[in-house]
Structure 1
């Protein structure tokens, strides 16, 4: 029996820049670890590539001025900024571009936290207050009376309300705090939906409420503006701060990229390797309450073998039930036999109780995000081996 199960390795690559041939760099990287680190590749290994290096190699960037120009074209008199996340990396540059337009600006914050768990303030401040977070709307004065004049994020030390207002001269931006679309619809008839994961729901909701112009961030830079980068599917969703005056967008043509790379790798090594592009993992920090997924999807491109969800037996459940009177090799042989003969669809079965019913790409993307890290590891590519094996595999 093999003694190792899943193994995930971060792969070091050169620093990827605009115009680099990422396909060839990745082929060369695999060749080096095969020859220099004696890594053998097998069927159903997974090569996971962070979205940022694909976007950088494509030069998929945009400036504040290019963002501003697109916003000016798509809004007439006003921009109601609906449910932005509170993030310097993810939203501050977009907010800066919004503020540079000649439109009237109103910002509608979720409270007490945004959709990815960034707390605008400690929710304990609501105890004993006559405030309903589902229906009420607070203006800035009422918000400050609740939280104080200096309300900084526990991790970043930033007062995001002050930061987002600071991008316009004289801070001429109205801010409100609500989770109620009906209250927002009363105050603005031109809205930019910034919520990531419920954007379709909110667009339809505001249209039903009679709002004249409803767009979301996937409608901004969905086409190039003055030579800018763009993303026809996600617009500026999934973008990150690049410099003080520009953002890096989510990569384009991810599916085409992974399929070509898979073809070339598999022809070279005679195996069936799977390839995916990944961004944020889909997990939540138990202390800060921040949900990691600020991208529109975990994986914007992946090969066919990564479709679907796991179909696994829960070993500890079977060990405590069917195998309760067995020990040692007898129990091991019995569980191997059950795995080898498991049904092709275990949904609803007690034997799969407690297994993770998530998309394979979400699970693999989360694993890859943790392995590659977000700082100075220098491993923007992850090789995952043994993920599709089980205890009965040779």
Structure 2
């Protein structure tokens, strides 16, 4: 009888640099791990590769000057509104530097009390005691008087101060406005760069309908600037700080990579192994209140076997209801038979209540992100076995 279900391994690889043959590195690292750890490959195993090394290997970088040049073309007035940027030094500071380098003035509209993914911009207890509410429009002066001393407990900085200093260092004027209604920006300018991630299409469509000249970050650097990198699907969304003058973009060759890795693994192992590229996991930290998904999607590329949703019954529900009078081996065998006979599509049935109705790649990507971490583990490849197994698989 099997005593272990899903197994997740972080696979160490060489340090990956621009122009490296990533498919070869991934496959060779898996084969080396197999020999060292003594595992075997099975059908429906999963290999996941972090988007960071995909972007690095394909050399998908842009500079601050590239960002500035693209925005100068889009906003010749040099006076724009920047709406709902993420409050992140890693994710947005270099983008903001490029915006400021291209413009004479920025009106930066931020949501409050936090950005789209939960990064705080003011103290919520102070907000509750103040004259302001979530429907208020708060000026820069009002923010400074009421909330300006707030320091984020994780980063130890005030992001308003940080962004102001960064913008002014590029000889650009800045005015901050705090509002949860994006239409507020139209009181200041009709030229708008929207920076939200998961509501980007709704925001740009709304502002366009009100007469704005609007672009989203997903529409910046969709084509190369003088040989630079680009991302035709996501533009600057999903980018990360590489240096003080350079951004690594979200990968654009993931589809080719996952199919090449799958092909080579089938040739070497004879098993149908699924492959995906993953970025941020789609989960929320319960303490910091930060939603991890700052990338536009969890998985920008994956093989066909990872399309879809889980189709699982809730063991607790079956045990407590249908088989409430059974115990021990008899209960286990009854549940196994229930699993074997389950419908191919359980959507909407009570027997699934309490399971997680999220797409497979979001669930698997979250598992991978938590395994690889964001620091110094050195395991940009994750190998998962038994994810699609259930209690009935002996």
- Shorter-chain TM-score bucket reads over 0.9
1:163 and 1:95 map into 2 onto residues whose CA distance is 11
Counterpart of 1:127 in 2: which secondary structure?
helix
Quick check: 1:320 aligned with 2:320?
A: yes
What SS does structure 1 have at the residue aligned with 2:151?
A: coil
SS of the residue aligned with 2:108? strand
SS of corresponding position for 1:266? helix
Counterpart check, 1:104 vs 2:108: no
- What is the DSSP-based 3-state SS (H/G/I as helix, E as strand, rest coil) of the residue aligned with 1:355? coil
CA displacement 1:287-339 (0-9 Å, x = unmatched): 10000000000000000000011000000111111111101110000000000
Structure 1 stretches of 4+ moved >6 Å: none
Deviation at 1:255, TM superposition (A): 1.1
Q: TM-score, normalised by structure 2?
A: 0.97
Alignment length (residue pairs): 391
After superposition, where does 1:323-362 map in structure 2 within 5 Å? 323-362=323-362
Q: Point out where structure 2 has 5 or more consecutive residues left out of the alignment.
A: none
Q: How does 1:174-323 map to 2 (within 5 A)?
A: 174-211=175-212, 213-323=213-323
Inter-partner Cα distance in structure 1 for 2:85 and 2:183: 17
The answer (yes or no) to whether the contact 1:165–1:171 under 8 Å persists in 2 is no
Distance apart, 1:128 and its partner CA: 3.5
Query: How far 1:160 moved relative to its partner?
Result: 0.9
User: Secondary structure at 2:266's aligned position in 1?
Assistant: helix
Aligned residues of 2:104 and 2:172 also touching (Cα < 8 A): no
| C-alpha RMSD of the superposition | 1.1
**Residue aligned with 1:200, SS:** helix
User: Partners in 2 of 1:255 and 1:122 — Cα distance?
Assistant: 43
Q: Deviations over 1:130-173 (max 9, x none)?
A: 32313x2111001112113x332111012111111112246621
Q: Distance in 2 between matches of 1:79 and 1:345?
A: 49
Query: What is the alpha-carbon distance in structure 2 between the residues aligned to residue 122 and residue 325 of structure 1?
Result: 53
Greater mean alpha carbon deviation, residues 336-345 or residues 261-270: 261-270
Whole-Å separation in 1 of the counterparts to 2:336 and 2:65: 61
CA contact 2:104–2:173 (8 Å) conserved in 1: no
Provide the C-alpha distance between the structure 1 equivalents of 2:322 and 2:82, rounded to a whole number of angstroms: 56
Between the aligned partners of 2:103 and 2:254, the Cα distance in structure 1 is 35
**Secondary structure, counterpart of 1:173 in structure 2:** strand
- Superposed, which structure 2 residues align to 1:49-88 within 5 Å? 49-77=49-77, 78-88=79-89
Q: Which stretch of the first structure deviates more once superposed, 43-52 or 167-176?
A: 167-176
| Distance (whole Å) between structure 2 residues aligned to residue 271 and residue 128 of structure 1 | 61
1:341 Cα deviation from its structure 2 partner: 0.2
Q: CA deviation at 1:184?
A: 1.6
TM-aligned CA deviation for residue 209 of structure 1: 1.7
CA distance in structure 2 between the partners assigned to 1:120 and 1:243 by the alignment: 25
Q: Is contact 1:281–1:292 with CA below 8 Å preserved after alignment?
A: yes
- Does the 8 Å CA contact 1:96/1:164 hold for their aligned counterparts? no
> Who is 2:162 aligned against?
163
Unaligned runs of 5+ in 1: none
CA distance in 1, matches of 2:278, 2:18: 19
> What is the alpha-carbon distance in structure 1 between the residues aligned to residue 139 and residue 209 of structure 2?
25
For the residue of structure 2 that corresponds to 1:152, the secondary structure is coil
| 1:11 and 2:8 are equivalent in the alignment | no
Deviations 1:93-146 (A, max 9, x none): 011111111332110011110010001112111224332313x21110011121
